[in-house]
Amino acid sequence: MENSLIDFPANSDERGSLIALEQFKNIPFEIKRVYYLFGTKHDKARGFHAHADLEQVLICVSGSCKVRVDNGKKKTEYELNKPNQGLFIGKYIWREMFEFSADCILLVLANNYFDENDYIRRYEDFQLEVSKFYTK
The domain that holds 25 is classified in CATH as: 2.60.120.10
Predicted confidence band at 131 (pLDDT cuts at 50, 70, 90)?
confident
Q: State the chain's mean pLDDT as an integer.
A: 94
Of residues 82, 78, 93, the one with CA closest to residue 59: 82
The reported pLDDT for the residue numbered 133 is 72
pLDDT score of 132 more than 90: no
pLDDT in tens, 13-46: 999 999 999 999 999 999 999 999 999 999 999 9
- Structural domain range at position 10: 3-134
1 vs 64, higher pLDDT: 64
Eight-state DSSP code of residue 24: T
Element holding 125 (H helix, E strand): helix 123-134
Work out how many domains the chain is built from and give that number.
1
The reported pLDDT for the residue numbered 12 is 94
- 49 is an active site residue: yes
Q: Could you tell me the pTM of the whole model?
A: 0.92
Q: Given the residues 33, 49, 66, 91, select the one marked as catalytic.
A: 49
Predicted confidence band at 1 (pLDDT cuts at 50, 70, 90)?
low
* Secondary structure (3-state) at 134: helix
